[in-house]
Amino acid sequence: MDIPFVNLGLQYQGLRKQILDKFDELSKKGAYVLSSELREFEENFAQYCGTKFAIGVGNGSDALFFSMIALGIGKGDTVITAPNSFIATGWAIANTGAQPVFVDVMDDYNIDPDKIEAAITPQTKAIMPVHLTGRVADMGPIMEISQKHRLHVIEDAAQAVGASYKGQKAGSFGVTGCFSLHPLKNLHVHGDGGIITTNDESLYEHFMKIRNHGLKNRDECEFWGYNSRLDGIQAAIANIKLPHLDRWNQRYREIAVQYTETLADYVQVPTDQEYEIPVYHRYIIRHSRRDALHSHLAEHGIETKVNYPIPLHLQKATQLLGYQKGDFPNAEQQAATILSLPIYAELEDTQVDHVINSVRSFQG
């Protein structure tokens, strides 16, 4: 039995006719850029997340970058975030001219609120929690800290579309929520895509210009902006998929429950809190002999990944920040032991059982 880590074609097969019909419709009309399809998806996505506005952009990294640009964050400023995310989180901060400041994480892989205040300086302008693996960070204390110190909160919700914390959806806590529609996300398009959520109307209006060259209208440019627009066909695909998202996320959770209940005696598994509803973009286990387990599962036809093996503070790109090995022990220990198992809505029960039995058969 071969079980790939992802299988994007399976989802497409179930929606193929709708997608092809919509592609044909939009191609005949030539409705590609800043079309009604985009406006419809933005309205639907904002409603889904419980925010007033949503703005489609070219990718999730631009969603983060534009959030900071719109808030005036740049050279001389610092932004606090976690060191165990994908490189895009640090990239977006650094490319504004600001400096990322890392804070260690908890067992759920999310930023530790208890360590944030010690990292705040007069140069700190924002906190960027990353809702890693589809679990919302502990936003209660994070929001309290941000209000106490008058800091912006920019949510990196790229992996957490549909996840909730104390009844509130990811992307609705901070001044902005930043989502990726990359093919590996629970809600994805056929290529790159991103979307920003906000309740701030002035920010919303600014984002509409930032993503479109800084144009006020076709002939008047207010400032140097960027060219980063979610195109109409991708927005239409996202709109087709959005009504299915809760059902897909429920399947992710069902698989996660099966993994947790059957593997807890063999590997370290995630533990949900009663106040959260994760969407398990990634299901990560931990084992002291992670590499051997990875090889064992490959021998049984199961593809696994390590998300992510090198923390941000130990990347060559961040070496000028002055961090060293040992600065963030939780993140570093996790990076040495984590392994992501296959999890997607189309995974069949027999495949889930095979993954479970193969992990349990490992002589670790």
Same domain, 15 and 132: yes
Query: Where in the sequence is the domain holding 266, given as residue range(s)?
Result: 245-360
Cα(235)–Cα(14) distance, rounded to whole angstroms? 18
- Whether residue 142 is contained in a domain is answered as yes
Q: What is the mean pLDDT of residues 155-180?
A: 98
CATH code: domain of residue 236:
3.40.640.10
Q: What is the mean pLDDT of residues 321-331?
A: 98
Same domain, 208 and 266: no
For residues 340 and 42, is the Cβ–Cβ distance under 8 A?
no
Percent of the chain exceeding pLDDT 70 equals 100
> Which residue, 90, 86, 39, 42, is CA-closest to 65?
90
Reduced to 3 states (helix: H, G, I; strand: E, B; else coil), residue 302 is strand
Cα(197)–Cα(45) distance, rounded to whole angstroms? 8
- Whether residue 1 is contained in a domain is answered as no
pLDDT at 225: 97
Boundary residue ending a domain (227, 243, 259): 243
pLDDT at 31: 87
Residue 321 Cα distances to 114, 142, 312, 313, 340, angstroms: 22, 24, 11, 8, 29
Same domain, 200 and 333: no
Residue 226: band (very low, low, confident or very high) from pLDDT cuts 50, 70, 90? very high
Same domain, 172 and 80: yes
Q: Enter the tokens of residue 199.
A: 């309740």
Same domain, 103 and 141: yes
> Which residue, 303, 258, 331, 250, is CA-closest to 85?
331
Boundary residue ending a domain (188, 219, 243): 243
CATH code: domain of residue 353:
3.90.1150.10
- Whether residue 102 is contained in a domain is answered as yes
Same domain, 100 and 73: yes
User: Tens digit of pLDDT for each residue in 253-305?
Assistant: 999 999 999 999 999 999 999 999 999 999 999 999 999 999 999 999 999 99
Cα(329)–Cα(332) distance, rounded to whole angstroms? 5
Same domain, 91 and 212: yes
Same domain, 210 and 292: no
DSSP string, 187-230: S--SS--EEEEES-HHHHHHHHHHTBTTBSSSS-B-S---B---
Reduced to 3 states (helix: H, G, I; strand: E, B; else coil), residue 104 is coil
Residue 233: band (very low, low, confident or very high) from pLDDT cuts 50, 70, 90? very high
- Whether residue 49 is contained in a domain is answered as yes
Q: Enter the tokens of residue 174.
A: 């901070």
Same domain, 110 and 257: no
Same domain, 186 and 212: yes
> Which residue, 311, 313, 333, 336, is CA-closest to 119?
313
pLDDT at 340: 98
Same domain, 12 and 139: yes
Residue 72: band (very low, low, confident or very high) from pLDDT cuts 50, 70, 90? very high
The total domain count for the chain is: 2
User: Tens digit of pLDDT for each residue in 178-205?
Assistant: 999 999 999 999 999 999 999 999 999 9
- Whether residue 2 is contained in a domain is answered as no
Boundary residue ending a domain (211, 228, 243): 243
Cα(238)–Cα(35) distance, rounded to whole angstroms? 14
- Whether residue 156 is contained in a domain is answered as yes
- Whether residue 3 is contained in a domain is answered as no
The residue written with tokens 């809760």 in the block is 246
Same domain, 303 and 207: no
Measured in residues, the chain has a length of 364
**Alpha-carbon dihedral 98, 104, 108, 114, rounded to 10 degrees:** -100
Cα(271)–Cα(258) distance, rounded to whole angstroms? 12
- Whether residue 64 is contained in a domain is answered as yes
pLDDT at 364: 73
